[in-house]
Amino acid sequence: MLVLEAKLQGKIEQYNLIDEAIRTALFCRNKALRYWIDNRGAGRYDLNKFMAVLSKEFEFANKLNSQARQSSAERAWSGIARFFDNCKKKVSGKKGYPKFKKRGHSVEYKQTGWKLSEDRKHLTLTDGFKIGRLKLVGSRNLNFYQIEQIKRVRLVHRADGYYAQFCVDVDRREEIEPTQTTIGLDVGLNHFYTDSKGQVVENPRYLRKSERQLKKLQRKVSKRKKGSANRRKAIKRLARKHLQVSRQRKDFAVKTARCVVRSNDLIAYEDLLVANMVSQRVGRVSRLEATGEPVRVKNHKLAKSISNASWSMFRDWVEYFGKVFGKVTVAVPPHYTSQNCSNCGKQVVKTLSQRTHCCRHCGTALDRDHNAALNILAIGLNRVGHTQINACGEFDLYQVDVSLLGKLSH
């Protein structure tokens, strides 16, 4: 599935109608959740059927396209299904019980309620809200795809305007020649990541760089009178700045992940539980690496830096581009990756402040993150094919398992 996005240009009246459609979709989602709470045992199709009853009960809900109402019910069910899945997996901490939402930012249509012009530069909404014809502004050309391939159209309200997202049913594959190289990645806060070759990529720290401007905009919001027009304008300026930071972070993650995947045939990375790392502090000697169980101590010093690093987003894009380019991506458990020596395998206990790995057993001296990246690569190679690796990160490509080479050639 490929998501193409274009900005919408229209009149203020049309934007207000889009906001009304978004509020109606949020209303349907909350009503579907209430129906599930009151009727335990109700399934996905029961929520879809309830949307037809809701449209007869509320006139404004009937204005929304029937399939858009079903999409709202599916959003409620996705939260319910995620809650059940976390319970089955016995996820530590809160299981994510679905909650009612106060604000919505999008409404999703399926294959009815919208129409594209012949030149694919205008979008017309045809449901009961009568939003009408909107101009599509963007670099994406929809003429390459058939109308039947567009499975969903989503209207999104962001701080800088309104957007249309087209979910196109396309199997994206790009053929590139194998590079005959593998890499292990150890993400961190000092550097965004350190690879098994000793190379580092600096952490851009977009939030930290914009923090002064964000604080200034936040003070302006606080000084404005609640409910006033000046306060609403200040809130919009603050939201646009936050949106800029999030876009910078995403752009960096996408470009870095694409470069890593295109340059290597196998990418091994840590299978980190970032959500636990943000909310919980790991002790002086990392218990997360030693036992895999995070220490339940509140973390108020590293949470912002970890969130700003966007490790989860980077991992998601590495896995995505791995499928696109036909490369092998391996998630490695982080246990002992920083404590064990990459040369002899002996455990060398280090505190978080010790940035150099010095093995007293074999005399290997490496940067802490470089040593961890070598361990991650070794574990990743063992998972997909046996190979020999030394402290310098050199390996014999001819010793890689045949099954791995078969994956790399496709």
pLDDT digits (tens, 9 = 90+) for 39-63: 988 999 999 999 999 999 999 999 9
Find the mean pLDDT for residues 191-212: 91
For 83, left (φ over 0), alpha (ψ -120 to 50), or beta? alpha
Find the mean pLDDT for residues 161-175: 92
pLDDT at 364 over 60: yes
> How many Å apart are CA 271 and CA 186, to the nearest integer?
10
409 or 324: which leads in pLDDT = 324
Hey, which of 24-28, 117-121, 203-207 has the most confident mean pLDDT? Answer: 24-28
Quickly count: other Cβ atoms within 10 Å of residue 388's Cβ.
Answer: 11
Give CA separation, 337 vs 187, 314, 379, in Å: 12, 20, 9
240 or 384: which leads in pLDDT = 240
Render the burial of 95-108: b for 16+ CB within 10 Å, e for the rest.
eeebeeeeebebbb
Give CA separation, 383 vs 120, 228, 267, 288, 377, in Å: 47, 60, 12, 21, 10
pLDDT band at 299 (very low <50, low <70, confident <90, very high): low
331 or 287: which leads in pLDDT = 331
Hey, which of 6-15, 324-333, 363-372 has the most confident mean pLDDT? Answer: 6-15
Dihedral sign computed on CA atoms, order 140, 143, 145, 150? positive
Percent of the chain exceeding pLDDT 70 equals: 88
Instruction: Please choose, from the candidates 310, 322, 319, the residue with its C-alpha nearest in 3D space to the C-alpha of residue 247.
Output: 310
pLDDT at 301 over 80: no
> How many Å apart are CA 108 and CA 77, to the nearest integer?
15
288 or 136: which leads in pLDDT = 136
Predicted pLDDT of residue 238: 96
Dihedral sign computed on CA atoms, order 174, 177, 183, 187? negative
Predicted pLDDT of residue 161: 94
Percent of the chain exceeding pLDDT 90 equals: 60
Give CA separation, 281 vs 202, 262, 355, in Å: 24, 35, 19
Find the mean pLDDT for residues 363-388: 81
Would you list the DSSP string of 166-209? Answer: EEE-------------EEEEEE-SSEEEEETTS-EEE---HHHH
Find the mean pLDDT for residues 5-33: 96
Of how many residues is the chain composed? 410
Render the burial of 354-368: b for 16+ CB within 10 Å, e for the rest.
eeebebeeeebebbb
CB 370 within 8 A of CB 200: no
Predicted pLDDT of residue 399: 35
Predicted pLDDT of residue 7: 96
Q: What does the angle CA 107 – CA 206 – CA 241 come to, to the nearest 5 degrees?
A: 50
> How many Å apart are CA 167 and CA 15, to the nearest integer?
22
SS3 140: coil
Find the mean pLDDT for residues 242-251: 94
32 or 406: which leads in pLDDT = 32
Give CA separation, 30 vs 35, 56, 73, 282, 303, in Å: 9, 17, 8, 37, 31
pLDDT band at 403 (very low <50, low <70, confident <90, very high): very low
Find the mean pLDDT for residues 302-308: 80
Predicted pLDDT of residue 102: 93
Q: What helix, strand, coil percent values describe the chain, rounded to 5?
A: 45, 20, 35
> How many Å apart are CA 16 and CA 28, to the nearest integer?
19
350 or 264: which leads in pLDDT = 264
SS3 142: helix
Q: For 227, which DSSP code? A: T
362 or 113: which leads in pLDDT = 113
> How many Å apart are CA 378 and CA 391, to the nearest integer?
10
